């Protein structure tokens, strides 16, 4: 039970406590934690000696705090729960609570490298059927390793940032032409944020996942399908993705998701040793995609074939180092049913099967459209916690 | 004429003056400029008021200085030439010169995003013939846009860093197996370092290349061909590249290369407007690849199909922003002849045609092998300037 008004029973009670970075009254960015509809100013709390984190909470991004490691993350979280539940602390803590509506949320961490995986069997299968009809939906390597690639870290933006429709080369019957993308899409994903780095040459084992990963964000990996289709052979997606990738303003610490781990789908054929995780656990995150306010899909993250621990082990098996702020996303989350897909490419089957939206027939994104991705997870004792939403609105091309 | 002993007539005279970051006597990293076989301590020079750069020369990386922009880059360069040529400055400058042999060179800038292009027609054609025999060597998009993808910024290392042979999944007759790469290769490339950033949503025109790009490094994009071949469908290279990318310790400022610009190969079919650069100029950089001390190839950068200005315009045409420290590499530099290729994949035609090296028959890299890539460029008045070498030695897998 917290003394913060309205927080108990909400999806942002003291079992959640996601971290973010905000500005208030035009002042310098600072770290905060969300409780109910308030943000607790952690820079202020550390300055007042209420919580100790080696000064890391006084920084303008989460990076230094995320670099401290799990024992410190746990200690700070326990202390925050104490401050927010014990009435004895109320008098000193309450002045540091700001109404959420009064703050502006910023990108919570400096992104080091951004990797995007492709770990939903249903998504990869759907894409295979749409682009390679009549052939096996999955390529031969897909069940052997979590396919991934590097994206552009510099264009990761915080939820709420408007997204300019990208221009580029699109294929056409008389060769490529230059112009705005006509097939602008979303990809609903879950991102994992690395706190503790690893040195070059030292792979991170599947069992060490929780020592390195600080928390989780929701991700919308905006995708221009026409640009992507023309450019991606043979080196993969580039400009079709690099114009913007939106992440939630709140980073949900892994510790808030303790009740959300569930057995992941059985893998057949068996994976090679470095990918074997026992127990083999995914996360029961229930995503929802709203397109101009209408809920069009509910992607179930628990159906992902490759787990975040496997993705991290794969990412580093060649000796690649990790840096604080590395972000790796799951790839589009799609369940087995049409109402569970994480992209409009799949929802409209390559644009061939439009959906009804606001009384209109629609396929890809129109200028002015807003897409919001939300998610919930099981919390302790049958409660539900919310992940921070990721939202964005499409602006017409310049 | 410089008063620095031995610098005149060397490839590191005052028409070159590349920038780097070094440590000396175990002290903090600082910026220096190379002249002859000496390094001029620029942090010391700025602290002494000999050169002014808004304090940027007192930083431990080149990023702040590179962010200042071309007018400041030019002013600092002119001042350095003055200090190094006018005997009147000798007494105050000479104490700031350190013998090159006494310093340790570090990664000269914090890499923001790393993009790797694929802009040599000969390289792309060779790879096409090796991997897709009997089909057209170039894919349909290749002459329409400079193909590129994002690499891992966090594993860009400075010349001299030892490279651990990566392990991973390699294809085999009975499915993939895990183990060390058996086809470890090099890619000799030229990298362009962004100084001045650009905002999200604002493409950089081909004509604005020199306003954004600070200078040039040599790049060895180490590649594990077996890992790459198994993983790269459909999203491109990942672990086959991300274990290490080596760059030279010296960044040659674009201003030192004024005499190296030459007409680039004619492009047919004509490119779309945003890629049209007039004049259409490449750089006459003459690379050399030494394998255990034997010169095995001399890749001519002037043969590259896509120019660095076109690459930059393409990279941003979708509205992607630039950050100071962004690095984009040319892709493997290969000329039309076997003795001009930038990879051992090409030199040995996929391993099918071994070369003689040190009396042995060789295809890909063995543990203990050292590869050094050097380059020269035409300087003013018929002189030659050198780019900083990039070298690395292969260590056996852990």
| Greater model confidence, B61 or B172 | B61
Band of pLDDT at residue B20, cut at 50, 70 and 90: very high
What digits encode the pLDDT tens for the residues A264-273? 999 999 999 9
Beta carbons of B153 and A113 less than 8 Å apart:
yes
DSSP code of A63?
A: H
- Give residue B63's Cα distance to chain centre: 16
Residues in chain B: 398
* Distance between start and end Cα atoms, chain B: 51
Structure-derived torsion over alpha carbons of residues A130, A132, A133, A139, reported in degrees to the nearest 10:
-100
Give one DSSP letter per residue of B233-256, joined into a string: TTT--STTTTT-EEE-S-BEEGGG
What average pLDDT score do residues A95-108 get? 98
What average pLDDT score do residues A92-102 get? 98
What digits encode the pLDDT tens for the residues B180-222? 999 999 999 999 999 999 999 999 999 999 999 999 999 999 9
Local structure of A149: helix, strand or coil: strand
pLDDT of residue A96: 98
How far apart are alpha carbons B237 and A238 in whole angstroms?
12
Beta carbons of B235 and A230 less than 8 Å apart:
no
**Average per-residue pLDDT in chain A?**
97
Residue B231: its chain A contacts at CB < 8 A?
Answer: 141, 145, 147
pLDDT of residue B341: 98
Smallest Cβ–Cβ distance between B176 and the set A144, A169, A326 belongs to A144
Structure-derived torsion over alpha carbons of residues B272, B277, B280, B286, reported in degrees to the nearest 10:
-100
Residue A112: its chain B contacts at CB < 8 A?
Answer: 153-154
Alpha-carbon distances of A176 from A10, A398, B54, B141, B317, rounded to whole Å:
51, 20, 46, 9, 15
How far apart are alpha carbons B135 and B139 in whole angstroms?
9
Catalytic residue among B122, B123, B212, B314: B123
B214, B194 Cβ separation under 8 angstroms = yes
Give the CATH architecture of domain B19-106.
Roll (2.30)
Band of pLDDT at residue B174, cut at 50, 70 and 90: confident
**Consecutive H or E run containing B32:** strand B30-35
pLDDT of residue B42: 98
Catalytic residue among A123, A144, A212, A280: A123
What digits encode the pLDDT tens for the residues A254-265? 999 999 999 999
Phi-psi region of B69 (alpha: psi -120 to 50; beta: other; left: phi over 0): left
How far apart are alpha carbons B18 and B103 in whole angstroms?
15
What average pLDDT score do residues A72-97 get? 98
| Greater model confidence, A1 or A109 | A109
A123 is catalytic: yes
* B100 pLDDT above the threshold of 90: yes
How far apart are alpha carbons A259 and A254 in whole angstroms?
10
* A172 pLDDT above the threshold of 90: no
* A174 pLDDT above the threshold of 90: no
Number of Cβ atoms within 10 Å of the Cβ of A29: 18
In angstroms, what separates the C-alpha of B364 from chain A's closest C-alpha?
Answer: 18
In angstroms, what separates the C-alpha of A6 from chain B's closest C-alpha?
Answer: 38
In angstroms, what separates the C-alpha of A230 from chain B's closest C-alpha?
Answer: 7
Beta carbons of B155 and A321 less than 8 Å apart:
yes
Beta carbons of A150 and B318 less than 8 Å apart:
no
Intervals of CATH 2.30.30.230 along chain A = 19-106
Beta carbons of B145 and A224 less than 8 Å apart:
no
pLDDT > 70: what percent of chain B? 100
Alpha-carbon distances of A359 from A71, A362, A393, A396, B389, rounded to whole Å:
53, 9, 19, 22, 63
Band of pLDDT at residue B172, cut at 50, 70 and 90: confident
B308, B94 Cβ separation under 8 angstroms = no
* B175 pLDDT above the threshold of 90: no
Beta carbons of B200 and A155 less than 8 Å apart:
yes
Band of pLDDT at residue B142, cut at 50, 70 and 90: very high
* B398 pLDDT above the threshold of 90: no
* A181 pLDDT above the threshold of 90: yes
Smallest Cβ–Cβ distance between B112 and the set A147, A154, A237 belongs to A154
Local structure of A322: helix, strand or coil: strand
Beta carbons of A201 and B153 less than 8 Å apart:
no
pLDDT of residue B150: 98
How far apart are alpha carbons B214 and B203 in whole angstroms?
18
CATH number of the B114-395 domain:
3.90.850.10
Peptide bond into A234 cis (omega under 30): yes
pLDDT of residue B199: 98
Intervals of CATH 3.90.850.10 along chain A = 114-395
In angstroms, what separates the C-alpha of B272 from chain A's closest C-alpha?
Answer: 7
Phi, psi of A236, rounded to the nearest 5 degrees: 95, 180
**Average per-residue pLDDT in chain B?**
97
Smallest Cβ–Cβ distance between A144 and the set B169, B234, B319 belongs to B169
How far apart are alpha carbons B341 and B288 in whole angstroms?
10
Alpha-carbon distances of B133 from A154, A164, B137, B184, B234, rounded to whole Å:
38, 41, 8, 22, 20
Band of pLDDT at residue B364, cut at 50, 70 and 90: very high
Smallest Cβ–Cβ distance between A273 and the set B144, B178, B315 belongs to B178
- Angle ∠(B155,B196,B78) on CA atoms, nearest 5: 105
Residue A113: its chain B contacts at CB < 8 A?
Answer: 152-154
What digits encode the pLDDT tens for the residues A336-376? 999 999 999 999 999 999 999 999 999 999 999 999 999 99
What average pLDDT score do residues B51-60 get? 97
**ipTM of the predicted structure?**
0.97
What average pLDDT score do residues B233-259 get? 97
Residue B141: its chain A contacts at CB < 8 A?
Answer: 176, 230-231, 233
């Amino acid at each position: 039970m917290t003394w913060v008004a309205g927080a108990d029973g909400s999806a942002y009670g003291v079992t959640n406590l996601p971290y973010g970075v905000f500005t208030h009254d035009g002042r310098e960015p600072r770290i905060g934690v969300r409780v109910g509809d308030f943000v607790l100013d952690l820079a202020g709390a550390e300055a007042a000696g209420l919580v100790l984190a080696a000064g890391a909470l006084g920084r303008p991004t989460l990076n230094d705090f995320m670099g401290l490691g799990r024992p410190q993350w746990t200690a700070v979280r326990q202390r925050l729960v104490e401050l927010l539940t014990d009435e004895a602390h109320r008098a000193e803590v309450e002045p540091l609570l700001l109404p959420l509506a009064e703050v502006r949320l910023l990108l919570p961490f400096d992104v080091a490298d951004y990797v995007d995986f492709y770990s939903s069997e249903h998504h990869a299968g759907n894409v295979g059927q749409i682009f390679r009809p009549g052939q096996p939906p999955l390529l031969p390597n897909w069940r052997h390793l979590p396919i991934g690639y590097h994206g552009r870290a510099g264009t990761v933006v915080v939820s709420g940032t408007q997204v300019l429709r990208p221009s580029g080369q699109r294929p056409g019957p008389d060769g490529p032409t230059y112009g705005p993308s006509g097939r602008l899409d979303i990809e609903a994903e879950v991102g994992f944020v690395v706190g503790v780095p690893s040195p070059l040459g030292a792979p991170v084992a599947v069992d060490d996942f929780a020592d390195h990963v600080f928390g989780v964000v929701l991700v919308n990996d905006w995708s221009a399908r026409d640009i992507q289709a023309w450019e991606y052979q043979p080196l993969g997606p580039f400009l079709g993705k690099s114009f913007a990738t939106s992440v939630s303003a709140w980073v949900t610490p892994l510790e808030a998701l303790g009740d959300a781990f569930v057995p992941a789908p059985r893998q057949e054929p068996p994976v090679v040793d470095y990918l074997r995780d026992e127990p083999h656990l995914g996360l029961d995150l229930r995503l929802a995609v709203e397109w101009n306010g209408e809920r069009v899909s509910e992607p179930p993250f628990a159906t992902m074939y490759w787990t975040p621990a496997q993705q991290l082990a794969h990412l580093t098996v060649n000796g690649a180092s990790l840096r604080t702020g590395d972000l790796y996303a799951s790839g589009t989350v799609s369940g087995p049913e049409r109402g569970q897909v994480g992209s409009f490419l799949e929802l409209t089957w390559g644009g061939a099967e439009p959906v009804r939206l606001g009384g209109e027939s629609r396929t890809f994104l129109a200028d002015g459209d807003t897409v919001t991705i939300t998610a919930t997870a099981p919390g302790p004792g049958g409660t539900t916690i919310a992940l921070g939403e990721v939202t964005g609105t499409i602006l017409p091309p310049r």
